Amino acid sequence: MANHKSALKRIRSNEKKRLRNRYQHKTTRNAIKTIKSTTDKSAAEKLLPKVASLLDKLVKRNIIHKNKSANLKSKITKHVSSLS
């Protein structure tokens, strides 16, 4: 157990940040699954900017790496353009 007041505060704040990061990451993963399972092109085109925005936010907050975000955006864009 931590002995210093600042260490106790750090433990509390780390837990809050961890939960927030998990929530945001899971939300983004669910959005990616939704767009991948969509067969309607117009609906997928509407979702694409929202998913890209979510990925960019994860990168900005250092939750995922920028290259992973770029790869995911590339894959979902390719998927959306292949829909008819």
Q: What is the pTM of this model?
A: 0.86
Identify the structural domains of the chain with CATH numbers, from first to last: 5-82 (1.20.58.110)
Q: Which residue reads 């117009």 in tokens?
A: 42
Q: How far is CA 32 from CA 56, 69, 79, in A?
A: 13, 11, 11
Mean pLDDT, residues 8-12 taken together = 95
For 17-58, the pLDDT digits (tens) are 999 999 999 999 999 999 999 999 999 999 999 999 999 999
